[in-house]
Amino acid sequence: MTTPSAFPPAGLRKLLAAVTRRTGLHYYTDKTDLLEEMVGARMRLHGCRTCHDYLAVLADKGMGDAEWRELESAITIGETFFFRYAEQFAALEHTIVPGLIRAAATTRHLRVWSIGCSNGAEPYSIAILLARLLEKAGMNPREWHIEILGTDISTRAIEQARLAEFSAWTLRDIDPARRAAWFTAVSPRVWRLHERYRRMVSFRYSNILDLLQPDGGPAGPFDLVLCRNVLIYFAQAQATALVRAIAGRLAPRGWLLLGHSEPVTDFSPWLETVRLPGTLAFRAGMAGKGPVAPVAARAMPPRRHSPRANVPMAGADSAAVATAIRRMADDGHVPRAMQMCRDHLASHPVDARIHFLFAVLAWGEGSLLQAEESFRRVIYLCRDHIMARCYLARLLEDAGACAEARRTRQQMVALARRCPPGAALPDGDGLTAGGLLRLARHMDEALPGEHARVSS
Ligand SMILES: C[S@@+](CC[C@H](N)C(=O)[O-])C[C@H]1O[C@@H](n2cnc3c(N)ncnc32)[C@H](O)[C@@H]1O
């Protein structure tokens, strides 16, 4: 496990405070070593020897703002792909968007906002879906006034989004026929989204924290807001305040979609929680802004897991939760075990152990993308997690992403070598570091030409 620096030097602490204040990325609070690593390149570029020197650059009237933009691009994590979270896109396709189209039949005007849009895969997925559903309903998307806004704090991500060129990796959930219908190949591994979808979306730099200022951030009302996998890096209280601010920018009966593991659990009385197959969505009341009617609050699902599952949730020890989930899965109730993971993660979004368990279960169920995403999350939360790298490498290999699989396995081997050979690996079901290295060598022998990748 990464050992967080318990007492980082004063300069680093100051830098951390400045970064958290500016971006909301509370995530770095116990990962100052990671922050230091990421800021290092910027510091070297400016010839700064200490964090104090770099803070002075950030505070400089002339270049401070530009440097903040660079730093924001460097420290944010933009992992995304088209049609991410199949269940949410099914809910959008079958319930949310058809309802919005019906409600806007007279005005023919819809406003969508993707907050933390990264390279644009999310808002462009919405553009493709909206165009498709309008056409299916016999309408011409060109006769509608569709505004899809993508915002992000990373200027680098915004530039990529405007370019609308994507790698096979970002398009991994789109089958070749649809890829050919929606994109034009600009090189063997890069595709450009068609102009008809590109023009539906505009992008701009915006810090979500601006929403906490009076009249800050893009003005509503929006019929649909997506803020997925952004708040997961924020402190719970700030994330809750932001959800409330977003609720204030929703149109009457407008929708909000969050990621599966956001740290927000309290939406009442601002938003109604709506259970849709495989996912939750949140909805404004008839008045748009402000508390929803009490009847909507009654539609809230129980926040804790049902007693049937018999899992301690509030302040629960993660090991005890993991044991209960494993028992449930061992009894053959895998979907229920996965739901227990989701429930736990809703209130403990940075519990790497449960993310890992969820990833393994998802893999077993054939949900490869979910599994991959969760293994990545484990590594993100816990950079020294050897077993997550072990599984991820295998998944990537199966998916044909050989270069990344090779890198991941090399990292796995390097980490395992740092452990005493007899040390049991966390989440390894008794597998020791030495045992894993032997297995890795065995795979080397089984796969000619692979030797370099695990023994380097
Ligand atoms: C993991 S990506 C999520 C992308 C997309 N929403 C999805 O779920 O696939 C998180 C994005 O949030 C952005 N972000 C982080 N902090 C932000 C802030 N304070 N304001 C706006 N965007 C932010 C990052 O730059 C990054 O592009």
Write the DSSP string, 439-451: HHHHHHHHSTT-H
Q: 203 φ, ψ to 5°?
A: -125, 145
262 Cβ below 6 A of ligand 1: no
CA of 262 to the centre of ligand 1 (A): 12
Task: Classify residue 320 as exposed, middle or buried by CB count within 10 Å of its CB (0-12, 13-18, 19+).
Answer: exposed
pLDDT tens, per residue, the chain with 456 residues? 344 445 678 889 999 999 999 999 998 988 888 899 889 999 999 999 999 999 999 999 999 999 999 999 999 999 899 999 999 999 999 999 999 999 999 999 999 999 999 999 999 999 999 999 999 999 999 999 999 999 999 999 999 999 999 998 899 889 999 999 999 999 988 999 999 999 999 999 999 999 999 889 999 899 999 999 999 999 999 999 999 999 999 999 999 999 988 888 778 788 999 999 988 999 998 765 544 433 222 222 322 333 222 223 334 578 888 888 888 887 777 888 888 888 788 777 778 889 899 898 888 888 887 788 888 888 877 878 999 999 888 888 888 778 788 888 888 998 988 887 888 888 887 778 888 887 787 665 443 333 333 232
88 Cβ below 6 A of ligand 1: no
How distant is the alpha carbon of residue 343 from its chain centre?
17
Rounded-to-integer distance, Cα 227 and Cα 258, Å:
5
Of the candidates 390, 393, 354, the one whose C-alpha atom is nearest the C-alpha of residue 374 is 354
- Where are any strands of DSSP class E within 240-345? 250-258, 272-276, 279-283
| Domains of the chain and CATH, by start | 10-75 (no CATH), 86-298 (3.40.50.150), 307-455 (1.25.40.10)
CA of 42 to the centre of ligand 1 (A): 21
The identity of residue 336, as a single letter, is R
CA of 365 to the centre of ligand 1 (A): 28
- Upper half-sphere CA count for residue 106 (Cβ side, 13 Å): 1
CA of 80 to the centre of ligand 1 (A): 9
Q: Is 207 helix (H, G, I), strand (E, B) or coil?
A: coil
Exposure letters 179-211 (e unless 16+ CB within 10 A, then b) = beebbeeeeeeebbbbeebbebbebeebbbbeb
- Which protein residue has the closest C-alpha to ligand 1 atom 2? 78
Ligand 1, from 19, 69, 83, 118: best to mutate by most atoms within 8 Å of Cβ? 118
261 Cβ below 6 A of ligand 1: no
- Which protein residue has the closest C-alpha to ligand 1 atom 12? 116
